[in-house]
Amino acid sequence: PTAVYLGLGVELTRGSEYPGGRNEDNHAGEGIFVKVGGDLTPAASWQVGLSHYTTEFDVRQAGAHHHGGEESLTDNELRDGEVDLSGLDLVFKWSPSGHARERYLKLQAEAFKRDESGQAVFFEELNSAEARYSGEQSGYYLQAIYQFAPRWRVGLRHDVLQADNSISRFVDNGIDEQEFLQESSIGEGDDDPSGWSGMLDFSPSEYSRIRLQVGRLEVDDESYDSLTLQYLMSLGAHGAHTY
């Protein structure tokens, strides 16, 4: 064992899965990550991670749906696209007694930023529209979990998504710009969605957990409340514990 934990990784994919797409020019998806961590005291530890992924694609399907039942089929594509996705994650753990099975506090945060561009194309039967698309999306969450007694935990989480999308060189072939922005989801929503959730859970054993969770999601001046009761059970081989 060393005083500082260091992990490095490189990933090479076909780039065909989201946020990539179909490509015929062998545009691979390339990813890299680094994780660093260590102990501050016998009761406290930390870990920081950075990651980056980049890919290109010929076509990425953004979804198709019907208007008016089966009367009108629409299709939405992003062509000749490029994507860069970066992430940051932080973890801090503290156990006052040094025994995490009794009591511990875990603070965790993650943030991401995605820059993408391409030619956005929208079809509706014989009509279509297209434009040069440039988008920047980002988001983060903050959460805290505290085990106040063996098998009992409480938690609080806050998450936010943000988007700054724009188009240029719009071409109207029977679909106006407002409909194009709405149907392609590029201009959908004026506010950044955010959410809060809190939970209380009890673990009868290492392989099961009962969780009560409340949440609120705020989107475009609308609020959605939820109440969830879950029973989680693990079957099969028991994997290694992650940090």
pLDDT at 48: 98
- Residue 12 sits at φ, ψ, to 5 deg, of -125, 120
Per DSSP, the three-state class of 112 is strand
Residue in 197, 191, 181 with CA at minimum distance from that of residue 161: 191
CA 56 from chain center: how many Å?
19
Q: What is the DSSP letter of 22?
A: B
Q: Is 69 exposed, middle or buried, given 0-12, 13-18 or 19+ CB atoms closer than 10 A?
A: exposed
Residue spans of alpha helices (H) in the chain: 177-183
pLDDT at 23: 82
Which pTM value belongs to this model? 0.81
For residue 214, give Cα distances in angstroms to 15, 143, 171, 195.
37, 14, 46, 11
pLDDT at 130: 85
pLDDT at 85: 96
CA 8 from chain center: how many Å?
22
Q: Within the chain, which residues score under 70 in pLDDT? A: 1, 63-74, 187-190, 238-243
